[in-house]
Structures are given as C-alpha cells and as structure tokens.
Structure 1
Amino acid sequence: MAASPETPASATPRRKVSRHRGEGQWALGHFTPLNGNEQTKKDDDGLNVRTRIETIYSKRGFDSIDGADLRGRMRWWGLYTQRKPGIDGGRTGFLEPEELDDEYFMLRVRITGGRLTTEQLRVIGEVSETYARGTADITDRQNIQLHWIRIEDVPAIWQKLEAVGLSTTEACGDTPRGMLGSPVAGVAEDEIIDGSHALDEIARRYIGDPQFSNLPRKFKTAVSGSPRLDVAHEINDVSFVGVVHPDHGPGFDLWVGGGLSTNPKFGVRLGAWVPEADVPDVWAGVCSIFRDYGYRRLRNRARLKFLVADWGPEKFRQVLEEEYLHRKLLDGPAPEQPTQQWRDHIGVHRQKDGRFYVGFAPRVGRLDGSQLAKVAEIAEVHGSGRVSTTVEQKLIILDVPEDRVTSLVDRLEAMDLRVTPSPFRRGTMACTGIEFCKLAIVETKERGSDLIDELERRLPEFEEPITININGCPNACARIQTADIGLKGQLVTDADGNQVGGYQIHLGGSLGLEASFGRKVRGLKVTSAELPDYIERVLRRFQAERADGERFAAWAARASAEALS
C-alpha cells in the first residue's frame, strides 16, 4: 500500500494528532471522523433520512428539520435548500448557512443515462407545475432539477415520480450520483456498443445500497459506446468508453480520476479492456477503492482524482485487480479521435433501424413544466415514447419514422426548441446561478439566454462550433475549464471603481482525446454588462486570424494575450 500523502501545510497551528488519523483512509485504519461531514455520516446513514422526511418533517414543516439532516443527509435524497432571495453575490462567502437557506428546496430527479419515457417526462412536468412553480432545468449530468419545493410536498412528489420508475435516491450527497450514458444508446448507426444495459445494472445493484452510501465525497460515472465520446468521460470519477478489442470485439476502455471544480484534473486510462458483462463488477471495484482509500480528512481533497494523482494509473489498476476483483483485467486499445466537432447529437440523424432521432436545443437547459408536457405529447405523436437528455443540457426524441420528421421539427421550432440552432444556442450552457444556488456570486441562466440573442444578432454569419459555458462561482458545475470560452462568476471592478458581477475568462478548453483546460490571460475579467462586447471582439479576432480548418481552442492556445483581451 502507498504511504499516506503528505499533509498540506496549515495557515494556523494545529493540535498534535495521532499518527493513525492520516488522510482518513479507512483501508489504513483511519476511522476517526476528521470533520463535521464525516461525523454526520458516521452518526447516521444519509439514506435513513427519508423516514424522517416522510413521518416528521413533511408533517411538522421546515422549522422541525434537524440541522445535520437539512444541510447534510437530505442530499442523499436529492434535496438542497435553495438560496434565500435578495442576497447579493458579494455576501455569498460571508454568511452562515442558516442565513443563506431559504425554506424551499431544489429537488434533483435522477435520470440514469438520460433515458426517459414520455410518461416519465409528463410526470416531471406535472410535478413542476403542481409543486415547483413551473421550474425545470436540464443539467449537464442529464438530470432534471426542480425548484421552490416545500418539505410538506416531498412525500407526494416521491410517490408520483416512483410510480413511473423515477427516483431522487442519491441524486446528491457523498454517493454514486447520477450516471451518464449516451443519449442515443442502442439506436445510433455508428455505435460501437450499447452501454445502457451495463449502466442499468450498476444502478439496479448499487444505488441505495448502504455499502456505497458513505463515500468520501461525490462519485460520478459515465458509460458510453458512442464513437462521438458523448458523455464527457474525461471528467468523471470512472468512465467506460466504447472500444473494439482486436481479439475480443466490442467492450469498454476504463478511465478513472477525472473531475473539475477548483482543482481540475482529467481522468487517466488504466489501459484495461472491460467486457460489457463485467462493467458492474469493475465499477464496484473502483467505487470501493474510493470508499476505502479515498481521503476523508479534508473535503477539498476528498475526490478520487487526488488519490489517482498520488497513486498513478499503474498502482490504481494493481490495487483494483489484486484487492477487489481478484483477477487480472485484459489490456486494451484507447478510443479513437471523434470525427465530429459537435458531440451533442443535435439535429436529425438516421438510426440503425431506419428511423430517426431528433436532437434539439432549449435555452441553456431551462424549460418549464408545461413545455415538458408538450414535448412528451409531441414525442408520443411522432415517435415511440422515448426521450433522452444530454450532457449539454439538450433533449432528443427517438424512433421517429421518416415521414414524421418534418412535422416533428416544425412543432419543436414553433416552441423555440431549435433543431438547427445557431452555434451560440447550441454551444452555450449555464449552471443554476445566484437565482437559486447558495454558492453562486452572479446570475447565469438569464445572462446566458440574453447572450445567445445578442451574439446571434451581432454575428449572424458565425458558423464555427463554439462552446460558451457560464458558471456562477468557481466550482465549475457548467464545466468552464473545458469550454472554448469559459466564464467563471466573480465580483469585478467596473470603470467607475464599483464592485459588480462579472466573470474571469478561460479560453481554449476542450474535451476529446486532445483534451485541455482553458487558458487564463492575466487580468482578463469582464463585467456582466461588458460580456457581449468582449465575446464579439474575441470571436471576430478568431475569424480574422484562424488558419484553414482551425478550431477556436487551437487558435486560443497560440494567440497573443492582446488578441484574447
């Protein structure tokens, strides 16, 4: 076993602690809770809070909720308190949690692999309209988030969701959260292997299982057999990527240790090929390593990416094989570079069965309950009753006969759900932002929607693929480091010397087999009001200076600081 990583220096003197506390790794005998989060989990499994929600909190109201449940264990059932209205971004980092908490919740609906039936989509729409003031946001984790949820209504919401096979179990918390899958699994003409069955089996076996309900922190999963690499496998804790083994045929290449936030790291290949039938067992092995060896002492080092960085892929694979699988994995090939620049499946595409799937773009993932119900109705009339969400906050309707495609496209476009969107509509994502999130500093959703309109007006001729990701704080929920233009919300100083909402700029990030994190130019920040001017300026400079066929990320990597400013 590897030695415990060196303890980071502390800004203040610390009491001498037992050498057995280390990084809080269970496998090394470090079971003493080292922070409040670990103590809360030791006191009671987060899965157990459901009973209290149903029997006590929903009947007695918000003020009856125990603090450790409110800001901890309720996440195990997809519930976060949302931000109290009227608190500006400058106070985000200075207020206590109880000062930021509103008496309403965000509820995250878990959607494994992004796959929904129209019945399920309709029920989410009904829950949105009845209990969530019409709110519904598609996330870049293929989930749907609702807001303005009252604790009194949660049991009724669960009953409605679970009646159609949906769940909020472990949608948040230190658990195996929502699992990504190709939104066109099983239907795409170019698919290497259908990963949906393996993904479903992982969820069936392990979601809600107490053996994985106390992880050091969140654990993110992706499984896709698409050659488009359509699940952002590079930034998940564990990813299974479709490849063809020269001797054994289609299977999955195993990646571990990806993640963003304030210390981003790309996942690494273990060089191991995994057949479809073995994916759940290998997933459990990787998750068990995280549970047993993951760092629990400091929350900001409690992601799998730090363990992988310290161990390296060779040691990680060795521990996985020897201690958890008790057998060797086969060596295998790496995935090939995708041929498409967009990986989002937007537009009209032929399926392997001769029917079509149609991907379309809401504005920055934001819909409302009535729109979800209309999409469900349209999908039933034109398809087979199957819909998918994507990791770019988009939607896809599957199984459309050729003679129904035009009608479907017309219906969607009439709802401002674009099947042939501009690059700006197609490539702009935004996190929840200050409207609801207690960590946010700036507004994001409305800002993103307005930015789309402004760029379409200013640059109608722009046709190159471009991703613009807007985040309300440094935590990178909207993947700012991997966007062509990543916008990290923070307070900036305007021309009059006032502190106002704005963004630090990241430029030239990308995913794919040539993945890179965006470049930061020293001092490059803009106010929210200056944002359209800045993006117009840098995109016009890109158009003027790019080589033939050069993508924005490649140009941004070589451009001068002056060109990017």
Structure 2
Amino acid sequence: MYRYNEIDQRLVDDRVSVFRDQTRRFLNGSLSEDDFRPLRLQNGLYVQRQSPMLRVAIPYGTLASHQLRALARIARTWDRGYGHFTTRCNIQFNWVRLAEVPDILAELAKVQMHAIQTSGNCIRNITTDQFAGVADDEIFDPRPYCEIVRQWSTLAPEFLFLPRKFKIAIAGGEEDRAAVRFHDIGALARLDADGQPGFEIHVGGGLGRTPMVGQCLKAFLPRAELLNYFEAILRVYNRYGRRDNKYKARIKILVKDLTLEGFSREVESEWAYSRNGPNTISPAGFGTMEAFFAGPRYADRLPHDPASLEALRHNRAYLRWVERNVALHREAGYRIVTLTLKKTGVPPGDATADQMDVVADLAERFSAGEIRVTHEQNLILPHVAHNDLFKLWVIASAHGLATANAGLLTDVVCCPGGDFCSLANAKSIPVAKAIQERFDRLDYLFDLGPLELNISGCVNACGHHHIGHIGILGVDKNNEEWYQITLGGREGNRSNIGRVIGPSFAAADIPATIETLLETYVRLRNEDELFIDTVERVGLGPFKIAVYGSTHEANH
C-alpha cells in the first residue's frame, strides 16, 4: 500500500494543528457556529442526533494491520468501544466529544490516516473493487490509479467547493465489483487493440433522491490522460452545475439536462486545453506508484494440507463458510476471505475494538498484514493460503467474524438510520435486526441463493437501497416511520435501479412482507435461477399481488 512521504506527513500534521486551533476558538466562543461548520465538515466531523460523529477516510478501502489497531485504540479511548464501517469504505465513530476530535486526528496522523474530504462539497474517498490486485478476473490493478487520483484531488483548491459532493470509483476486473455505474465518475479497466491499458469512463451515476445509472462517456481513455480527463469533467461540472438547488446540484442532473452528447461536447472542448498537459501521467510515474502495490511474495507451490482437506469434508459449518466467504485468488494456492460484520443481532457494519484487534492479528498471521473494507460493509483478508483457511475460520468464528452469509439475505447493507443520523426519516438498524432474526437459518439462506438486501433510513440512500435486489427505504408518513420496498436493483455489469412495489409498510410488517416475497420467488423460479433473475423475468406483478392481496391493491 502507499506510504506517506515527508510532504504528505507534514500536510496531515499541519491540518491537525490548524483544526485544533479552530476547535479551541469555537469552544471559547470566538468562532461562530456558521463559521465553524464548514471547517469541521472539511475534517469529517458531523453533528448527529446523539453526539458528534467523525468519519475517517480509508482510501480505496485498504488498511494495514497497524492502522486497524489504531482505529481500535481510538474506539476504546474516545468512543464507546466500536466503529461503523460504511458503504463508502470509511469508518465512522458515532460517540466522539468535540473537544477531543483534534486528539483523534493526531492519533490518526501517526499511522498515516486522516478525515480530510470525508464530507463537504468536494471529491470524497476514492473507492475500488475490494478484490483489487488479487482477483482472478482482473485486467489490471486499479489501486495505483486510485492513489494517483487521491493525491491529485486532495485539497485541490479548484475542486474543494463543488456544487455538491462528488464520488469516484475505479474498478480493474472484468466484473464490476465497485458499483462504478453509480458514481459521479466511474472508470472501468480496459485494454485497447494493442493491449495498452486505459479506462471506459462513465459519468452521471448516483443514488439519493434521484437515482440514475451512469452513462458511458468515453469507451476508451488512455491511462496517461486519466487526470486530464477527470479535470475536464470536473471543470464542466463546476462551471454549469446547479448551486441554487441542492437537490439538483449533482452532476447526474447536469448530464441529464445537457444530454450525454451535449455534456460530452463540453468535456471534449475542455479536455482540449489540458490534454498532454502537466497532469499527464508518465510511464515512470505509473511505475513509481505501482511499486507501492506490488503485493507480498507468494509461495510457488502450496500442496493441500491433509488436515485442511479433512476439515472441509467433515465439518459442515466450515464447508458452508468456505462456499460463501472464500473466493478464488489469482495466485494458485491462495484465497480471498470475507469476514462478515453481519452476525445476527449486531448492527451491520459495526466492529468492536476487540474484533478490530483480532482482524489485525489475523491479517498479520495469514494475509501479509493487509485488510480491505468493502462497500457491503464487510472486511476482506486478500492473501490467505488455502492451507490456513481452517485455522483462520476457527479464530474468526470465536469472535463473531465468520457468519457464513456473504452475499446472502442476512448479509444486510444498512446505514445507521434514525438511531444516529439527523437526516434520517426512520430507523434502519432495528429493521435489519428483525430481518436477520426472522431468516437466521443457513440451510434456508443457502437454498435461496445470492440475494442482496439493502436498507436506507432516508432518500440520501447511504444504505444503497436502490441497488439491492430487495431495497427498503424509511419514509416519514404523518410523523410516523414507514418503509417502502423496491425490487430489481442490481450492481455490477448489469446495473439497474430497483422499482417500488407499492404502498409502504409499518416496521412490524417488514419481516413478514419479505417472507412473502421470498415464498413468491421460490414458487416462480426456474431451476437454479437467482432471485434477481426471477424478478427480471416475471416482472413486479406477481410479487405485488402476493404482497397486497389483489390486482387492484397492487396497482394502488
């Protein structure tokens, strides 16, 4: 992973010092709330329902074990002993004290971490595929490009006050595992006819109040022009994006208003000024950055350990875990392991300080000291020898980190909702818990097969409900919490926005309604057909009728 140089470290240390003084002046009354608000947001500090919340950046979701230990230390010392991993691959501390935030930022700086640009109308955390660098379908590793974009965008004056927040994702595999098409800019790894690396560029994707799938702006962009082209897109957005209405300020609205063709003309015109300019990335520049992501030295041959094979044959719980939570690796003899933060009864994405320490230990023992954070709110160990899987599983199981439900119904993606967020219309965590408890049967989950369920507490869609195969959105109905259900959302290469099935439901009715949807799927599915494929084949009609009881009610 990338290591700070002297300039990087000084920049982060100076930010901590400046914010410490700003916080002191706010607390002694010499800095007003209106003046302090943009300053705290620039340092990832929000005011929530219960207390301030600090959002810490995890660039492209990559952590070293010593960094995860630092996060555990922060959780114990300055929070309530846990942290929340988000759908943007960040971590949030929900119970910090304002006066102590500069101390937390100073602690982060010691391990080359910060909270810069985790909020505000700027370029947020750059995200990527959680299997980057190790996936067996990878065209090339996207992480060096993520780091190049991160350095270019961090504290870039021109892009610190955009019309609205801005999100960029870069993916390197044949399959899009980074939800690229739901970002303001998305880049997919491609090779041209001569085998030269570059990117397919998508623009105007996003969720929130007006969900849209991004459109292909450029079929192939040479990698050397990545920053020049991104700069052209952002300058067009900065120039024409709406600043008079925050609900129409995202780039997706601008692309819609100008049309893709009109937006493309503006970008190409702007790009003409910067093409081959100072931000063009040289082969040497790529080489320097790629060296940071060379990865560990893998053993040439790893014959299967008889004890591990015996465990796989005779331990059903372990077999289930391997089936769901272990993925193929580009290196023979190695695997990618998902540690799910979705044990029933625990808020999705939450990890205790003790669990963070355990994951750091596992990473050092089994995964070259490296951890990844996924936008599904789980943790990844990307370099595990297949002979170590059973030993790893035993330890992870003892600490609530080995629920065999990755990609299944109870692997719920969920925002903090009304329990914490001041923007939420309804609570998310109790609904997630009720669903997990209702369907906490692994045999049943495995029979259903892969099924993504996402929950958001408001239209800001931090739980990505629009792209869940089943999506749940909290809504305010006469000052009461109700929940709207969507079906048919999908991320990946066949991205799609879910559609609302009908009137909303009370919280108590959600588990039974989900069960009705699942029973309908089981009745209608073809052999080995996934839930999402059945929904796309038969449409919403049969599900509406099953849930609402009649064609008339379903069309209400």
Structure 1 length-normalised TM: 0.79
- Structure 1 residues 552, 325: closer, same or farther in 2, change over 3 A? farther
Aligned to 1:407: 391
* Structure 2 residue corresponding to 1:276, chosen from 214, 223, 226: 223
2:365 corresponds to: 381
Contact 2:166 2:184 in 1 (8 A): yes
Paired residues of 1:255 and 1:268 also in contact (CA < 8 A): yes
Aligned to 1:510: 490
- Residue 338 (structure 2) pairs with residue 369 (structure 1): no
8 Å CA contact retained: 1:108, 1:168: yes
Residues 564 and 427 of structure 1, relative CA distance in 2, 3 Å threshold: farther
DSSP-derived class of the 1:533 partner:
helix
Q: 2:137 aligns with which of 187, 190, 210?
A: 190
Q: For 1:517-556, what per-residue CA distance to the aligned partner results, in whole angstroms no more than 9, with x for missing partners?
A: 2121332x22111111111111011100123343323433
CA distance change for structure 1 residues 492 and 455 in 2, over 3 Å: closer, same or farther?
farther
Q: How far apart are 1:202 and its partner, in Å?
A: 1.1
Q: How does 1:389-428 map to 2 (within 5 A)?
A: 389-418=373-402, 420-421=404-405, 424=408, 427-428=411-412
CA distance in 1, matches of 2:65, 2:231: 31
> Which of 457, 462, 475 lines up with 1:490 in the alignment?
475
2:190 pairs with 1:206? no
Asked if 1 retains the 8 angstrom alpha-carbon contact of 2:438 and 2:511, the reply is yes
State whether structure 2 residue 326 is matched by structure 1 residue 347: yes
Q: Do residues 540 (structure 1) and 519 (structure 2) align? A: yes
Is the Cα contact below 8 Å between 1:142 and 1:390 reproduced in 2? Answer: yes
Asked whether 1:550 is paired with 2:497, we answer no
Instruction: Compute the RMSD of aligned alpha carbons.
Output: 2.6
8 Å Cα contact 1:321/1:328 also seen in 2: no
Residues 1:291 and 2:238 aligned together: yes
Give the secondary-structure state (helix, strand or coil) at the position aligned to 1:171: coil
The question of whether the paired residues in 2 share the 8 Å contact of 1:49 and 1:69 is answered with: no
In 2: Cα distance, 1:305 partner to 1:150 partner: 36
Compared with structure 1, are the counterparts of its residues 513 and 304 closer, same or farther at alpha carbon in structure 2 (3 Å cutoff)?
A: same
Alignment of 1:80 onto 2:60: no
Equivalent residue letter for 2:186: S
After TM superposition, the structure 1 = structure 2 runs for residues 460-499 of structure 1, keeping only pairs within 5 Å, are 460=445, 462-491=447-476
Are residue 225 (structure 1) and residue 208 (structure 2) matched?
A: no
Q: Which moved more, 1:359-368 or 1:448-457?
A: 448-457
Q: Does 1:563 align with 2:543?
A: no
Residues 65 and 356 from structure 1, CA distance in 2 versus in 1: closer, same or farther, beyond 3 angstroms?
farther
In 2, the alpha carbon distance for the partners of 1:564 and 1:249 equals: 52
Query: Residues 550 and 460 from structure 1, CA distance in 2 versus in 1: closer, same or farther, beyond 3 angstroms?
Result: closer
Q: Secondary structure at the match of 1:532?
A: helix
Aligned residues: 480
* Mapped contact 1:121–1:373 kept (Cα < 8 A): yes
| 1:461, distance to aligned residue in structure 2 (A) | 5.5
Alignment partner of 2:507 out of 525, 528, 535: 528
Moved more, 69-78 or 527-536: 69-78
Q: CA-to-partner distance for each residue in 1:170-213, whole Å, 9 max, x for gaps?
A: 11100000111122222222211111111101111221121211
Paired residues of 2:488 and 2:497 also in contact (CA < 8 A): yes
| CA-CA distance at 1:345 after TM superposition | 9.2
1:138-190 Cα deviation digits (max 9, x unpaired) = 11111111111112111111111111111111111000001111222222222
* TM-score normalised over the length of structure 2: 0.81
Using the TM superposition, give the Cα deviation of residue 52 of structure 1 relative to its aligned residue in structure 2, in angstroms. Answer: 6.0
Matched, 1:519 2:502: no
Residue in structure 1 matched with residue 284 of structure 2 by the alignment? none
Aligned to 1:455: 439
Q: Distance in 2 between matches of 1:214 and 1:393?
A: 29
**Which segments of 5 or more consecutive residues in structure 1 lack a partner in the other structure?**
1-47, 85-103, 330-343, 494-498
Contact 1:118–1:387 (8 Å) recurs in 2: yes
Could you say which residue in structure 2 is the equivalent of 1:126?
A: 73
| CA distance 1:142–1:426, change in 2 (3 Å) | farther
Instruction: Say which SS state the counterpart of residue 517 (structure 1) adopts.
Output: coil
| Alignment deviations for residues 351-400 of structure 1 (CA, whole Å, 9 cap, x no partner) | 33643321121122111222112111121112210000011111101222
Q: Do 1:347 and 1:360's aligned partners in 2 also have CA atoms closer than 8 Å?
A: no
1:406/1:483 CA distance change after superposition, 3 Å:
same
C-alpha displacement of 1:426: 5.6
Cα distance change of structure 1 residues 556 and 425 upon mapping to structure 2, 3 Å threshold:
closer
Deviations 1:474-525 (A, max 9, x none): 22111111111111112458xxxxx7433111111112333222121332x2
User: Using the alignment, how far apart are the partners of 2:181 and 2:199 within structure 1?
Assistant: 14
Matched, 1:429 2:402: no
CA contact (8 A) 1:386 1:397 kept: yes
Q: Does structure 2 retain, via aligned residues, the 8 Å contact 1:492–1:527?
A: no
Kept in 2, the 8 Å contact 1:257–1:305? The answer is yes
For residues 374 and 250 of structure 1, what CA distance do their matches in structure 2 show?
38
Q: Which residue of 2 aligns with 1:68?
A: 34
Secondary structure at the aligned position of 1:271 is classed as strand
Question: How far off is 1:401 after superposition?
Answer: 2.5
Instruction: Name the CA distance, whole Å, in 2 between partners of 1:231 and 1:325.
Output: 29
Distance 1:112 1:258 in 2: 20
CA contact (8 A) 1:112 1:181 kept: no
Give a deviation string over 1:67-94, Cα, whole Å, max 9, x none: 224544421111101113xxxxxxxxxx
Question: 1:57: which partner in 2?
Answer: 23
Structure 2 runs not aligned, ≥5 long: 1-13, 277-322, 343-347, 549-556
The alpha carbon displacement at 1:295 in A equals 1.3
Q: Which amino acid aligns with 1:221?
A: I
1:248-299 deviation line (CA, Å, top 9, x unaligned): 4332100001111111111100133123333233222222222222111111
Greater helix content: 2
SS of 1:251's partner is: strand
- Are 2:38 and 2:120, in contact at CA under 8 Å, matched by a contact in 1? yes
Where does 1:432-447 land on structure 2 (aligned, <5 Å)?
A: 432-447=416-431
Q: Which moved more, 1:501-510 or 1:163-172?
A: 501-510
Aligned equivalents of 1:249 and 1:420: distance in 2? Answer: 40
Are the structure 2 counterparts of residues 444 and 425 from structure 1 closer, same or farther at C-alpha, using a change threshold of 3 Å?
same
Q: SS of the residue aligned with 1:259?
A: coil
Cα distance in 2 for residues equivalent to 1:365 and 1:64: 38
Q: Which amino acid aligns with 2:47?
A: T
